[in-house]
Amino acid sequence: MNSVYITSIGKFLPGTPIDNEEMEEYLGRIGGKSSKSMRRILDQNKIRYRHYAIDKDQKSLYSNAEMATNAIRDALERNHDDLFNQVDFLAVGTTQGDLLVPGFASMVHAETGLPVMEIATHHGVCGSGMQAIKNAFLQVQSGEKKAAISCGSGRAIYWEESQ
């Protein structure tokens, strides 16, 4: 069995940090009114800022695949070695991809421009990112692959009601 190491970590958070006071400007209000329980929930969960992949008009700024790609690029740029052409496996986890087909890993692979490689899409809500990293780990540990990228990405999907 080969030893496996994490050699770089990347991230991507869309847009500027949004504080609690601005949250409803992005998500909207219920019947035009602020939520009655919002303040209590925010006080209990201690979250002070969040990032949204939408603007104040609820228009998408990034697809899920674009966000995953930006995180992968960040990880590749942080690594001192040129891993771009060394990676031969991509495992991606998400709750829901941008489209039903192709698979989410196919979309991320195309978006990154990485060389031809084996890919795997993992779905499973919160556990999908861990499934992806475990798959990448096992591929390298077994010697099947030399280097792998694992990424977890999530984007809440919303629907607009037409007039």
Same domain? 37 vs 77 = no
What is the arithmetic mean of pLDDT over 127-133? Answer: 94
Bridge-based pairing of strands 18-19 and 118-123 is unpaired
User: 24-33, 101-110, 141-150: lowest mean pLDDT where?
Assistant: 24-33
Same domain? 38 vs 100 = no
**Does residue 122 contact residue 93 with C-beta atoms inside 8 Å?**
yes
Residue with the larger pLDDT of the pair 114 and 40: 114
In a domain, 135, yes or no: yes
In a domain, 123, yes or no: yes
User: What are residue 122's DSSP bridge partners?
Assistant: 93
Same domain? 78 vs 118 = yes
Predicted local confidence at residue 156, as pLDDT = 66
In a domain, 27, yes or no: yes
pLDDT of 118 strictly over 60: yes
Bridge-based pairing of strands 89-94 and 148-152 is parallel
Predicted local confidence at residue 98, as pLDDT = 83
In a domain, 9, yes or no: no
pLDDT of 59 strictly over 60: yes
In a domain, 113, yes or no: yes
**What's phi and psi for 91, nearest 5 deg?**
-120, 125
**Does residue 29 contact residue 131 with C-beta atoms inside 8 Å?**
no
In a domain, 91, yes or no: yes
Same domain? 82 vs 114 = yes
Domain extent for 73 = 64-152
Same domain? 136 vs 68 = yes
